[in-house]
A and B are shown apart, each in its own frame.
Chain A
Amino acid sequence: MRLPISVLLLSIWAILFTTSYAEEQEESKAGEPSFISTEDASHIISKSKHTNNWAVLVSTSRFWFNYRHMANVLSLYRTVKRLGIPDSQIILMLSDDVACNPRNAFPGTVFNNMDQAIDLYGESVEVDYRGYEVTVENFIRLLTDRWDPDHPRSKRLLTDQNSNIFIYLTGHGGNEFLKFQDAEEIGSYDIADAFEQMYEKKRYNEIFFMIDTCQANTMYERFYSPNILAVGSSRLDESSYSHHSDMDIGVAVIDRFTYFTLDYLEKIDKDSQETIDKLFDVYTFENVHSNPGIRTDLFHRNVSEVLLTDFFGNVQNVVVNDGDEDLLYISNHDKTGELLKFYDEEPEEQISEGIVNSTNIKTSYQIDFGVENEESSDQIIQVSPTLAKRLGLGTGLVVIGLWFVST
């Protein structure tokens, strides 16, 4: 019968094609390596040696007339998100829900300015602790990460020793205390001890502690762990003031200290190189109507070298190099830059032997990297498109031939 003969002929022809049309060797590219010195790299990579940024934003007051504390926290939430910290690394604790408060004339919104330009509650706000979950116990547990095993990961502060944490507290405070939920208070020693626990458990690289309450500076006086930079809005026996009220909402919408902080931070971007002392320069008595304090003695770096994005943003500076080309260069050239030779140049008769025990490794005399060398392919041999085209065309011709010879 004609059919088996044609199949046999076709298979012989296919094998001949395969053997005579082996893959051509590709020229290996002798790329120039792009090396960078360690000094330049260290200039580019952040000086503070942190690798990730977290933010803990807490408001502690309840009731409608403390609208401005929620607005404070939500404004900083928005800023911190804008500068790059993802929701997974922000812990937002809102003690009361003013957006859906029945007294809110604009339900579902929270504004921090009487021009109502930005709705802070509008889009994609992820609140981790809400309402009565914002307690002193939860706050301390959060900082020290002492939870039940079934406490969800999204509500935990999963920092490590390379994390920079920005902690912001706002509410009603006094001499070395901060009132939580109108029923309890946290003391300055409590926070100081929590930070010491964090230091011992290596849970932070640097902490930036900002607090906007009355007599706020007293809250950071008791810290004793290293690498903490603290800012408070007013001194002992001084009150912190709200900035302005919105007549339609009916209450004050932002505090002065936070207002000027935001005013400055709105001007910077993710890739800003501004230092934090510029922010501290904004805290004048004329602006905030109180005496803000800065505590830098626990902080090992000079404040004029600390970037704002070290705490407010989440920027990782990287040095990009072309790994493939470098590896290729290093493996094919020696130190002086001369091309290495591994074998002598072989004539083409070797190739038919290569097919018998063929794998995807080419009979190449220089190391090549590329997609063609994938070992995970299902294919037994590498079939070039021209070969496949000839085989396909051959099949078509064979079938047409069979068509015409059959009776």
Chain B
Amino acid sequence: MTKLNQVLIIGGLIRFLIPTLLPQVVPILSSINEISTPINSFKSLQEAFYYFANGIELYDGGINHHPPVLVILLSFVNDLGYPVLSNIIFNLIYTLCDIYITYRLIALNQWYHDQWSSKSGSNKYNDDLIASFYLFNPLIIVTNLSHSTLVFSVLFIIETLHQLLVIKNLPRSMIALSIASYLSYTPVWLVIPLLALMQVTNPDVPKVEIYGRNFGFFLMGLMLFIIMSFLITASWQFFYQCYGTIFLFNKIQPNIGLWWYIFTEMFEFFTPFYIGVFNLYSIIFIFPITLRFTNDGVFAFILSLIWLSFTKSYPTIGDLGYILSILPIFKSSFLNYCKFSIVYIILLIICLILSPIFYYCWIVLGNGNSNFFYSINLIWGVIYLFIMMDLIWAKLTLDYIMDNDIKDKEQIDKLRLTQL
């Protein structure tokens, strides 16, 4: 039994056995607002199943924000044997999703190592370590146990990367990205770094053909889903409920993100302004990141992922979790030059401890107020920013070393770069 298989089995068993033996774990975790938001919660999915089974319009109520195709495909599972058997099958589905993601991460790790072993020394984390970074990441375990549909989104984003980089099948990666952006609105902006990545990995294909053809695939995939959703629900309500809620910030339940506080505590006069600014803020940085960092391909994509998670309308701790699990792939390159990772690791632990405490103080005990909880949200955002800063600086250091071909280890250690 190889180490990898052991890790996979233990990770799978955690995700399968805990909700099967303790079924109350799922609704409890689903109600914690750091873990699942109204947009991707499993409870609203179950509500959607009920609506669907009883012929009620899925998007009439304002609870369901899952896209119609997802609801219908998963309602087949629900119909199999509600409640016990379907819950077990859902546990199985989520377990298999995570194991699938693990395999893809291992493949990506291998690809990245193959790319880089020519340039620098070959050190990478072993397969089982990468798998354990993902499967034993508590943020991801908790997200998976709460059965939030973020897992499906993540699955398709990783699949996009995998198809593009490892298998080199561009249309499939675009289809995967269209599925991911159909499931939640945010990955749609990843098409920009992805197209740039395609250009970089296939330098011999003319630009227009790459961009045009693949963007066409992406649009076709997205249109297929949207038109089919329209046909299934016979109205455009789903568009407003699934995507309009996200970019119009319709739900202002507290979450681990940065924006809910602005909408609850600031004057309503400013709400349209804030909606515009926050959406623009989310989008506008993708372009410069892509332009600057595409030479190395994946880095732009990873930075865009981090940025989009940072400025997401309804983030969860799972977003940070899966970014942290992707980062070990880059051990052989710039991760060595990250200078202050201890800072944001400690910040992460502090946030995870304080956030539920302050929420409890605010909502249950009533002796705190929303400012307590929001301060932790701000620190959570700072973690993202620290990660970005660290990664960018590490990358620039690496670029400098590569460009000037500095091989001497002592020189590298003494290197102090400054920005001009």
Contacts and interface: CB of A to CB of B under 8 A. Distances in A.
Interface stretch (B49-57, B263-271, B331-339): B49-57
Interface string B64-87: 000011011101100000000000
Interface stretch (A117-125, A164-172, A346-354, A381-389): A381-389
Interface string A389-407: 1011111101100110011
B171 to A, nearest CB: 4
Contacts of A114: none
Contact of B69 (A11, A379, A384, A395): A395
B224 A395 contact: yes
A392 B169 contact: no
Nearest to B172: A406
Nearest to B71: A392
Contacts of A379: 57, 233-235
A279 interface: no
A383 B179 contact: no
Contact of A389 (B75, B217, B224): B75
B27 interface: no
B233 A388 contact: yes
B224 A399 contact: yes
Interface string B211-248: 00000110011011101100111111100000000000
Given A395-B69, A396-B69, A383 B175 contact: no
Contacts of B233: 379, 383, 388
Contacts of B237: 378
* Residue of B75, B171, B227, B237 with most chain A CB atoms under a 10 A cut-off: B171
Nearest to B230: A380
Given A379-B234, A380-B235, A403 B175 contact: yes
A3 to B, nearest CB: 4
A137 to B, nearest CB: 44
A367 interface: no
Nearest to A395: B228
Contacts of B76: 389, 393
A378 B68 CA distance: 15
B69 A3 contact: no
Contact of B72 (A4, A382, A393, A402): A393
A385 B179 contact: no
Nearest to A406: B171
Contact of A7 (B71, B72, B224): B224
* Residue of A1, A4, A403 with most chain B CB atoms under a 10 A cut-off: A403
A384 B234 CA distance: 11
B217 A383 contact: no
Contacts of B220: 1, 3-4, 7
Interface in A226-275: none
For the side of the interface on B, what is the size category? 20 to 34
A372 B73 CA distance: 24
A14 interface: yes
A377 interface: yes
Given A14-B231, A388-B233, A403 B224 contact: no
A403 B228 contact: no
A385 B75 CA distance: 11
A398 B224 CA distance: 9
A158 to B, nearest CB: 35
B175 A391 contact: no
A148 B52 CA distance: 56
A246 B60 CA distance: 62
A87 B127 CA distance: 72
A74 B231 CA distance: 65
B221 A3 contact: yes
Contacts of B73: 392-393, 396
Contact of B57 (A1, A4, A377, A393): A377
A294 interface: no
A385 B232 CA distance: 9
A389 B234 CA distance: 13
Given A396-B73, A406-B171, A7 B223 contact: yes
A6 B221 CA distance: 11
A150 B100 CA distance: 70
Contacts of A394: 228
A22 interface: no
Nearest to A396: B73
A380 B207 CA distance: 43
A11 B227 contact: yes
A315 interface: no
A358 to B, nearest CB: 11
Q: Which 8 pairs of residues, A with B, have the shortest CB-CB distance?
A: A392-B72, A406-B171, A3-B220, A378-B235, A379-B234, A395-B228, A391-B232, A379-B235
5 contacts: A3-B220, A380-B234, A382-B234, A383-B233, A399-B224
Interface of A: 1, 3-4, 6-7, 10-11, 14, 372, 377-385, 388-389, 391-396, 398-399, 402-403, 406-407
Given A384-B55, A399-B175, 15 more contacts: A3-B224, A14-B228, A14-B231, A377-B60, A378-B60, A379-B57, A391-B72, A392-B228, A395-B69, A396-B69, A399-B179, A399-B225, A402-B221, A403-B172, A406-B175
Interface of B: 52-53, 55, 57, 60, 68-69, 71-73, 75-76, 169, 171-172, 175, 179, 216-217, 220-221, 223-225, 227-228, 231-237
